[in-house]
Structure 1
Amino acid sequence: MASLTVPPVPKWPRQDAIDLHRAFKGFGCDSTTVISILAHRDAVQRAAIQREYRALFNQDLARRVASELSGHHKRAVLLWILDPPARDATILKQALTGDITDLRAATEVICSRTPAQLEMMRQAYAARFGCPVERDVAERASGDHRRLLLAYLAATPWRGDGPADPAAAALDARDLYLAGERRLGTDERAFVRVFSERGRAQLAAAARAYRHMYGRTLEQAVKGETSGGFGFGLLTILRCADSPARYFAKVLHKAMKGLGTSNSALIWVVTTRAEVDMQHIKAEYHKMYGRSLADAIHSETSGNYRTFLLSLVGRDRAYY
């Protein structure tokens, strides 16, 4: 369930474009107006605003935003105004080809998405950057990690449709046991095959069967038998099969705990989940950590950046 709130009566995108242009004019930027518009429009509305802005002012809205805002606030708004597939493609491109390659971030984006989302992201990646995402992944990742990412990207959009098959889940559990804990060494290809070819419901059923049959969790087996980027990718797929909301609640908690804040993780989770399942993530966050997600974000951020993120997440109480 999304946390994004939009006006009950849709706003005219041309008026939104005009209001944004006025907010940008003059000395400084009226960030309050920018946030009140962009943080309360869905993907279709944001696309319409961008078309109107270009038609009226012969300028790309993203370029104007980049020139008017700064820091984490700018990064968050620039990602938010993209449609979901283009946003995922942009995050992935930055992780794979930025000044510092961030394979962990790339793995998290790929392995936390459904096959349908990945298919749309692959199309957006090729359209925006002129090359298939598989090429960039193959150039940066290696070994079993690369094999897993490429196999997961190749999954058909309709993989895993329908209810889980308990008999097939038991067979998968047996294959994974024989490929890992039952033998000396690990048959990584068996893990790649099962984790990349099964839908979330089927993989979750295999995990339940594994625990029932062998008295240990499949997550424990993955941790014991794999490591590095390969193990991280498998764990991401497995945890998202169990509960995407719980997975992202943990990512957000990790981003904000201890000294300093991982703003990259905070931004990418909030901007990519606000229109998907942020309400569920908020519920899991409160259940797991005993405080609201909004309260945590309020404590770890400031200024317009804080206001923008809280507008997407939704404030659980009034802040002054």
Structure 2
Amino acid sequence: MASLSVPPVLTSPRQDAAALHKAFKGFGCDSTTVINILAHRNATQRALIMQEYRAIYHQDLYHRLSTELTGNHKAMLLWILDPAGRDATILNQALNSDIPDLRAATEIVCSRTPSQLQIMKQTYRVRFGCYLEHDITERAYGDHQRLLLAYLGVPRHEGPEVDPSAVTHDARELYKAGEKRLGTDERTFIRIFSERSWAHLASVASAYQHMYARSLEKAVKSETSGNFGFGLLTVLRCAESPAKYFAKVMHKAMKGLGTSDTTLIRVVVTRTEIDMQYIKAEYHKKYKRSLADAIHSETSGNYRTFLLSLVGRDR
């Protein structure tokens, strides 16, 4: 369930394009106007604004924003893209920066549905002129690489249907591949985690707990490590509840001294149009504090205004 707030009466995309162009004129960028427009338009409306901006001013709005915005305000560069373009851009930046952010890349891949991944892979190819699988092969390695490539390449069922006998079989296979033996059969973990639907995997986790009196998550933690273990845990946690997973990610990003703005931006801009209301509910349930209040206390200025415009203030 999305959290985006769109005014009941909108100005036209052409009027929005003209207002944005005016905001770019002069010394500095009127980021307040930019936020007031872009942070309150859905994906279709933003696409129309970009189309009108190009038609009127013969310039790409994304490029113009990239020259006008600095620091955390560049979060708006991600926001104006459609969901697949946003994911593709985050992945490209994570994989091809001077210091690759393999955790961010892993999170994007392992928290998306098969249909989302399919569109995102196509967008990546068109936008960056290469296959996502190629960049992953260049940057990741070992079991982590094999997990990501399998998760991207294997079609999975997205429905809620589950075969109880298959669930029991997979729970037994994972136990035999991990806790029952000396050493871990990583290929079995990769096969089951990459080939099964989220509904099936969530049922496997429940069966594992019932059969062996130990959570599958604890088994993964004890049997794997590094980016490979992180990928498996991301798949498992999103299978059980994407909202709980992302609530925990944002809490961790704002916990302690300093805030991981990169993580905060990534989650807010990619989940606002998908399930942010559910994330907010899980955040409040687990941490006894609203997500909006947490963001308000950890950010400032127009950056804070932008994030809260997407997340939505609690009423």
Same fold (TM over 0.5): yes
Partner of residue 202 from structure 1, selected from 200, 203, 225? 200
Match of 2:120 in 1: 121
Equivalent residue, structure 2, for 1:174: 172
Q: Match for residue 63 of structure 1?
A: 63
Aligned to 1:103: 102
Aligned residue for 1:25?
A: 25
- 8 A contact 2:50–2:60 mirrored in 1: yes
What residue is the counterpart of 2:224 in the other structure? 226
Deviates more, 1:288-297 or 1:161-170: 161-170
Q: Distance in 1 between matches of 2:146 and 2:93?
A: 21
Question: Which whole-Å CA distance do the structure 1 matches of 2:138 and 2:216 have between them?
Answer: 30
Following TM superposition, by how much is the alpha carbon of 1:36 offset from its aligned partner in structure 2, in angstroms? 1.0
What is the number of residues matched between the two proteins?
315
Distance 1:236 1:298 in 2: 27
Residue 286 of structure 2 corresponds to 288
Secondary structure in 1 matching 2:279: helix
**1:159, distance to aligned residue in structure 2 (A):** 2.3
Task: Please report the RMSD computed on the Cα atoms of aligned residues, expressed in angstroms.
Answer: 1.1
Say which of 191, 194, 197 aligns to 1:193. 191
Rounded to whole Å, the distance in 1 between the matches of 2:227 and 2:36 is 40
CA contact (8 A) 2:113 2:158 kept: no
Deviation for aligned residue 1:287: 0.8
Residue 277 in structure 1 maps to residue 280 in structure 2: no
The 2-side partners of 1:160 and 1:91 are apart by 24
Distance, in Å, in 2 between the alignment partners of 1:95 and 1:29 is 27
If the length of structure 2 is used for normalisation, what is the TM-score? 0.98
> Contact between 1:211 and 1:218, CA under 8 Å: does it hold in 2?
yes
Counterpart contact for 1:161–1:199, Cα < 8 Å: yes
Deviations 1:89-114 (Å, cap 9, x if unpaired)?
11001111111111111111111111
Distance 2:167 2:240 in 1: 14
Listed as ranges, the matches of 1:134-173 within 5 Å are 134-156=133-155, 159-173=157-171
Determine if contact 1:72/1:305 at 8 Å carries over to the other structure: yes
Asked if 2 retains the 8 angstrom alpha-carbon contact of 1:160 and 1:198, the reply is: no
TM-score with structure 1 setting the length: 0.96
Q: In terms of mean alpha carbon deviation, does 303-312 or 26-35 score higher?
A: 26-35
Q: Secondary structure at the match of 2:49?
A: helix
Q: Deviations over 1:3-33 (max 9, x none)?
A: 0011223441111111111121223322222
Amino acid at match of 2:124: Y
Alignment map for 1:229-244 (pairs within 5 Å): 229-244=227-242
In percent, how many aligned pairs have the same letter? 71
